[in-house]
Amino acid sequence: LRLVADLRAAIDAGGLTVAYQPVVETATMRPVGVEALARWHHPGRGWIGPDVFVPLAEESGLVDALGAAVLEQACAQVAAWDAELGLGAPRVVHVNVSALQLDEHLPSLVADTVARYGVGFERICVELTESALMRDPDLALLVLHRLRDLGTSVAVDDFGTGYSSLAHLRRLPVDCLKIDRSFVAELSEGHPEITGAVVALATGLGLSSVAEGVETVDQARALAELGATHLQGYGIARPMDAAAATAWFAERA
């Protein structure tokens, strides 16, 4: 397939870029981090979303190369932000990791890449979906312990949309639950139940909770009342290229 060859070329030649979406602390609205989101501008077809090219990479054996390229750019960006913004730099960059990357190679990839840029391991948070973690809970346990030993944190993405066993969740060394934006949207329809339950679960387990897809002030207010520790969404800031994200953080430093 032509598109697979193009994706491979983009990964190899730096045609894949990363957008950064800020994450703020709910209590203060202070910026604390960003999520790195892969972007692909195809020479002929224009922008192709990760909803298309991540599955394509997964089907064609390119997922490790894709994941490595995104992690590489994220680490380089942290080093660049530290040089440019000092203490105003994002403290943590969340990097999405495909379920297919959840194996024993992941901790060494993180260890090698982060070390090469000389940034602290605590500056990286690995995001894995709930379904990725539940596919092989024993393998997940092993990999997450290795990541935690490095000092990297782990977030469970799209929490509540998969089939997770709460008993497994409690065993897994994770730091953060990300509340799926479908639940956040329900706040505006008078249904805070699921979001409230996920926040309560995170709080009870001593984890932070990032509400995704926060678009309105009313949602932010409701999330503050429910106790979500962090907010992310178009209402805070859209995903931005590195230059725009740098300016966003500089203005708020």
Q: Which residues are at the interface with Na ion (CB under 5 A)?
A: 96, 127, 157
**167 CB-contact burial (10 Å; exposed 0-12 / middle 13-18 / buried 19+):** exposed
Structure tokens at 200: 């309560």
Tell me how many residues contact ligand G (CB under 6 A). Answer: 21
Phi-psi group of 46: left, alpha or beta (phi > 0 → left; psi -120 to 50 → alpha; rest → beta): left
Select the residue interacting with ligand G from 7, 54, 144, 169 (CB under 6 A).
54
Closest distance of CB 96 from Na ion, Å: 5
Give 31 or 83: the residue with its C-beta nearer to ligand G.
Answer: 31
Give the CA dihedral 55, 47, 31, 83, nearest 10 degrees: 100
Picked from Na ion, ligand G, none, the partner binding residue 98 (CB below 5 to 8 A depending on kind) is ligand G
Q: Does 70 bind ligand G (CB under 6 A)?
A: yes
CB atoms within 10 A of CB 191: 12
Give 232 or 246: the residue with its C-beta nearer to Na ion.
Answer: 232
Closest distance of CB 226 from ligand G, Å: 17
Residues 187-226 that bind ligand G (CB under 6 A): 212-215
Residues 87-146 that bind ligand G (CB under 6 A): 96-98
Select the residue interacting with ligand G from 158, 164, 176, 245 (CB under 6 A).
158
Structure tokens at 137: 């809970």
Give 6 or 157: the residue with its C-beta nearer to Na ion.
Answer: 157
- Tell me which residue of 82, 157, 156 sits closest to 120, measured CA to CA: 82
Picked from Na ion, ligand G, none, the partner binding residue 148 (CB below 5 to 8 A depending on kind) is none
**27 CB-contact burial (10 Å; exposed 0-12 / middle 13-18 / buried 19+):** exposed
Select the residue interacting with ligand G from 234, 241, 247, 253 (CB under 6 A).
234
Give 82 or 127: the residue with its C-beta nearer to Na ion.
Answer: 127
Q: Does 38 bind ligand G (CB under 6 A)?
A: yes
| Residue 210: C-alpha distances to residues 20, 106, 153 (Å) | 16, 23, 14
Select the residue interacting with ligand G from 33, 50, 107, 160 (CB under 6 A).
50
Q: What kind and span of H or E run contains 128?
A: strand 124-129
Select the residue interacting with ligand G from 181, 196, 228, 230 (CB under 6 A).
181
3-class secondary-structure state, position 172: coil
Q: How far apart are CA 68 and CA 116, in angstroms?
A: 13
Interface with ligand G (CB under 6 A): 21, 37-38, 49-51, 54, 70, 96-98, 157-158, 181, 212-215, 233-234, 239
